[in-house]
Amino acid sequence: MAEMILPGTYIDVRAEKLITPGPVSTGNIGIVGTASRGRLADATDATTVYTPANIGEARQIFGPADDYENPLESDPATGEKFPLTLIRAMELAFNNGAQRVFAVRVAGAGQAVADYALGAVTFTALGPGTGYNGFTISAVDNSGLLNVTIKLGSLIETWRDVPTPADEFAQVINGTHPGYPYGSKASTGGGSTLFRAVNAGNAAIAPGDAVQGAVGANGANTGAGAAYEDGLNALLNQDVQIVVLAGQDATQLGSMLSGHVNNASNDLNKRERIGVIGTNTAVLANLIANNEDNPEGRLVYVGPGVRAIDSASSREVVLPGTYTAAAVAGLISSLDPHFSPTNKTIVANGVQQNFNGTELEQLVLNRVFAIEDRAGALRVVRGITSSTNSAWQQVTTRRIVDFARKGVRSAADPFIGKLNNARVRGAMHGSINSLLADMVDREMLVSYELEVTATREQEIRGIAQVNMVLRPTFSIDYIRVVMYLE
């Protein structure tokens, strides 16, 4: 408020009571996997995390899936096959309701980067992979300037009126030319999303076609999974609530995923999330034995695998539970936090293995989020987490509480830096209360208790104490019927 020097009325408007919680996202999926195109995961570079709007856009970015039964890479010594995982998992996620996906590409041993030479300029792929092989890169004369096209099938990037000196030519392709007044790239309006141009001098670039030199390779064999850790680190600060390691087995990477979701969900990182992971085997004993306990219910362990049409070969293939995880993640993401996945359907052709009632009972008892073929539809037997703590066994409970945690932060954070007095604390109480009351109206909570206080010592230390008692809604898992006959 202005200092009162001249006579008049001075007004100080305090708008704390108008502060309301912001929107809370609940179904964003982070998927880490291997692909034939796209930049590799880098935790220091947010542009290596892609958010395709649909599976078509995902294929443009990461290239198509390879043939699952006859993949591009295998181990000649053991015969083990390494199909690409990312697009295949994203297909299942989108087919089962995923709306927003944060996708990260990783690669292991054997990766190689493709390049093309055009005079003094080399076009180097922005990532390793076969998805950069076979491009046509051409420069066509246009009254002393060049029209440049990079093309592979329907994937096209173009620039008009590019200057011919190699250094300026490269700057235009990279989107770094300080004053490129010669038109704009038709596809993205800036630098190439596929290649980086490197000039070896200032020689003029003549019209012609680039010649491919190095051949790209995918690095689909990620070995023990260190590459996937890079992918998880790239997702750490993204607005993601559900994480999937595409095609990866819980026996190998379950501990890694469990550690990631716990770390992401702590009060330092503030990214409440769960991990969904499956198994590479259909054997019941292994499904149970490999089930890892996550006491806070942040790990969902899925089985068995599913049958699906392979987009590369158009044949039906049997995919292990490592891909069922992506379908389950898509289903969970499509539901409000309090809507249980129990008895909901999965979009796929069939299951890898049909379990009988006794086997399904054992799966549920051992905290497996099991899928069964019931009357021609694939249904979730029970939407549970891997927690041995009964409080966190329902997926809905974990998601409701995470929604409340994120919502309370959204409601309370705007008050950081304001006065720690009864008036402001009352306004904070009102903001948080509006969130919780809405959760009751939406049937996420049965009821709640809320208190916002501060002792004099807490006021001095800058602490406002928020105490809540939440009573989440639980879903119906069983219906017990007692029949009396007379």
- pLDDT of 280 reads 67
Token pair 């935790």 in the structure block, residue: 43
**Three-state SS for 117?**
strand
Report d(CA 236, CA 362) in Å as an integer.
Answer: 34
The answer to whether 278 touches 286, Cβ cutoff 8 Å, is no
- pLDDT of 10 reads 72
- pLDDT of 186 reads 44
- pLDDT of 188 reads 47
Phi, psi dihedrals of residue 320, rounded to the nearest 5°: -70, 175
- In this prediction the pTM is 0.92
Below-50 pLDDT ranges, the chain: 183-184, 186-188
Structural domains of the chain in order of their starting residue, each with its CATH number:
29-109+220-396 (3.40.50.11780), 115-212 (2.60.40)
The answer to whether 334 touches 97, Cβ cutoff 8 Å, is yes
Report d(CA 65, CA 329) in Å as an integer.
Answer: 19
Report d(CA 67, CA 46) in Å as an integer.
Answer: 30
If you write DSSP's letter for every residue of 416-453 in order, what string do you get? TTS--SHHHHHHHHHHHHHHHHHHHHTTSEEEEEEEEE
